[in-house]
Chain A
């Protein structure tokens, strides 16, 4: 669906000073996939997205979306796009902005009002719809941006820092919305600094740094990865039995243990035995996610 082939982008100032924003970047995103893009500030994420939308052109290499150059694809099909900075003329009213974007998305006149109402309701903007853009808080502005992106009946969605400025309730709702965006024919690209978010929502995460693709991490934990993972196990009762069953366990207090280098299947079997023996397990989770570990390694300087 989306393909980057040896893409580079160099910005050159009037004084001739060059900065390589993206260097020799190659990656494919399949239809039906949700790809995360992670990287430190200035890693090149926004430049990649701007090239993918055809707003800027690569200095070298090629990008195709649905087999076409990005600009041609966007002009033919449209893309659901949420930018990191929400740039909407400050004078426009929130519902007026959604109406304009809906017209450009091809919503017929007869369904225009209903479409705006649905967007407003979906993003919880009822009490803010009559406000001008400049009167909206950061979180509400983000929701207006999201509403216009979601109104696009697109096969490609590009969401850049979508939960930036959202409160915890809307962060969670947004995650549900992105989960609902999954379709077999649709590719979703999600750029975020929030690794936990990327791990929950994406199939793979591309880690970039210094404009280069450092690695691509599959977010679904496989049995092979488990031995290298440290797990955090919490119990409500029977802590002493956990210590006895796992001699290497590090007690963290309050019934919490860190178990390093344990095979996932063995861990499950032993915990099952412990539970039958009366131990009450309240949670089990990786102490550090695989993505977090990979990210730290990839951007280590």
Chain B
């Protein structure tokens, strides 16, 4: 019964996502994608090959790395804290609604919609400029969303300014891992507790449709999934109000 209500409510969650997030991402992406797309179109068809090492490949790698990061960061933040800050949860959770299911579904809607959005942008690039591995890019977006979104979701369940915390945590993790690599011994093992930015970076070949190590996928997805599980536990056991 409650499940059916929530599934029906999903269309409103999607509607909010499109209005509050997608428009902004599409505008920024259009600005970002326009120049590389035009540059690729100006090349002879034989040179329009997106592969590691190709002249266009380097451009496309930067383009899609930036695009995916921007889309994932913008679309995954404040999923819970926005409701809490605005007090919007009050009427919603006075209904027969389980907050864990509600926020879990909201996260899923954001994940799927972000992947579809990046797929759309990649498809447009493929049609207009040069063919890219849309499926692989979609997979990379999903994995990146699970990690960034998961950490953001966790922060969002416990604090208001989760966006700043997420960006800070990723920065600290990247620097921490670099520093730990220089020390050896126990330090790199300890650095494994930090957000797996190195494993995420290792997934970049997916942009060209190239294979990646399953262990990198497992690290990124596993870390993100653990953060999502902790966030949902926070929603269950922490107070709904501040």
- Shortest Cβ-Cβ A-B pairs, 6 listed: A87-B87, A81-B94, A78-B96, A104-B95, A55-B241, A55-B240
Given the interface pairs A75-B96, A87-B90, A88-B91, the reply to whether A103 lies near B8 with Cβ below 8 Å is yes
Q: With the chains together, A89 CA to B83 CA distance in Å? A: 9
User: Counting CB contacts under 8 A, is A219 at the interface?
Assistant: no
Residues of A with C-beta under 8 A to B19: 91
User: Counting CB contacts under 8 A, is B9 at the interface?
Assistant: yes
User: Counting CB contacts under 8 A, is B239 at the interface?
Assistant: yes
User: Counting CB contacts under 8 A, is A167 at the interface?
Assistant: no
A53 touches B94 (CB 8 A): yes
Residues of A with C-beta under 8 A to B16: 89
Provide the A59-87 mask, 1 if CB < 8 A to any CB of B, else 0.
Answer: 00000000000000011111111010101
A55 touches B239 (CB 8 A): yes
User: Counting CB contacts under 8 A, is A39 at the interface?
Assistant: no
B88 touches A74 (CB 8 A): no
- List the B residue with the shortest CB-CB distance to A148: B91
Chain A residues within CB distance 8 Å of chain B: 50, 53-57, 74-81, 83, 85, 87-89, 91, 100-101, 103-106, 109, 145, 148-149, 152, 158
Residues of B with C-beta under 8 A to A74: 93-96
B88 touches A87 (CB 8 A): yes
Bin chain B's interface residue count.
20 to 34
A103 touches B12 (CB 8 A): yes
User: Counting CB contacts under 8 A, is B213 at the interface?
Assistant: no
Residues of B with C-beta under 8 A to A106: 1, 5, 95-96
Q: With the chains together, A54 CA to B92 CA distance in Å? A: 13
What's the least CB distance linking B4 to chain A, in Å?
8
Q: With the chains together, A158 CA to B95 CA distance in Å? A: 12
A76 touches B94 (CB 8 A): no
Q: A55-B240, A78-B95, A101-B95 are in contact. List 19 more A-B contacts (CB 8 A).
A: A50-B241, A53-B90, A54-B240, A55-B241, A74-B95, A77-B96, A78-B97, A81-B91, A83-B87, A87-B86, A89-B86, A101-B91, A101-B92, A103-B8, A104-B9, A104-B92, A104-B97, A105-B95, A145-B91
Q: Report which of A53, A88, A145, A149 forms a contact with B88, defined as CB distance below 8 A.
A: A88
User: Counting CB contacts under 8 A, is B123 at the interface?
Assistant: no
B88 touches A89 (CB 8 A): yes
Task: List residues 67-92 of chain B with CB under 8 A from any CB of chain A.
Answer: 86-92
Given the interface pairs A55-B239, A56-B239, A106-B1, the reply to whether A83 lies near B91 with Cβ below 8 Å is yes
Q: With the chains together, A91 CA to B88 CA distance in Å? A: 12
What's the least CB distance linking B14 to chain A, in Å?
12
User: Counting CB contacts under 8 A, is B98 at the interface?
Assistant: yes
- List the B residue with the shortest CB-CB distance to A83: B90
Residue of B12, B86, B92, B95 with most partner-chain A CB within 10 A: B95
What's the least CB distance linking B200 to chain A, in Å?
33
A78 touches B98 (CB 8 A): no
- List the B residue with the shortest CB-CB distance to A91: B19
Residues of B with C-beta under 8 A to A75: 2, 96-98
- List the A residue with the shortest CB-CB distance to B242: A56
Q: With the chains together, A103 CA to B240 CA distance in Å? A: 21
| 25 intermolecular pairs with C-beta atoms under 8 Å apart | A50-B241, A53-B93, A54-B240, A56-B240, A57-B239, A74-B93, A75-B97, A77-B96, A81-B94, A85-B87, A87-B91, A88-B88, A88-B91, A89-B86, A101-B91, A103-B5, A103-B12, A104-B5, A104-B9, A104-B97, A105-B96, A106-B1, A106-B5, A106-B95, A109-B8
Residues of B with C-beta under 8 A to A81: 90-91, 94
Q: With the chains together, A140 CA to B2 CA distance in Å? A: 30
Provide the B90-113 mask, 1 if CB < 8 A to any CB of A, else 0.
Answer: 111111111000000000000000
What's the least CB distance linking B78 to chain A, in Å?
13
Given the interface pairs A100-B12, A103-B8, A104-B5, the reply to whether A55 lies near B87 with Cβ below 8 Å is no
A78 touches B87 (CB 8 A): no
A78 touches B1 (CB 8 A): no
Residues of B with C-beta under 8 A to A148: 91
What's the least CB distance linking B7 to chain A, in Å?
10
What's the least CB distance linking A69 to chain B, in Å?
13
- List the A residue with the shortest CB-CB distance to B241: A55
What's the least CB distance linking B33 to chain A, in Å?
27
Q: With the chains together, A80 CA to B96 CA distance in Å? A: 10
What's the least CB distance linking B35 to chain A, in Å?
32
Residues of A with C-beta under 8 A to B12: 100, 103
Residues of B with C-beta under 8 A to A76: 96
What's the least CB distance linking B118 to chain A, in Å?
25
Task: List residues 1-46 of chain B with CB under 8 A from any CB of chain A.
Answer: 1-2, 5, 8-9, 12, 16, 19-20
Q: Report which of A83, A87, A100 forms a contact with B9, defined as CB distance below 8 A.
A: A100
Q: With the chains together, A80 CA to B8 CA distance in Å? A: 20
Q: With the chains together, A54 CA to B96 CA distance in Å? A: 12
What's the least CB distance linking B236 to chain A, in Å?
9
Residues of A with C-beta under 8 A to B94: 53, 74, 78-81, 149, 152, 158
What's the least CB distance linking B130 to chain A, in Å?
38
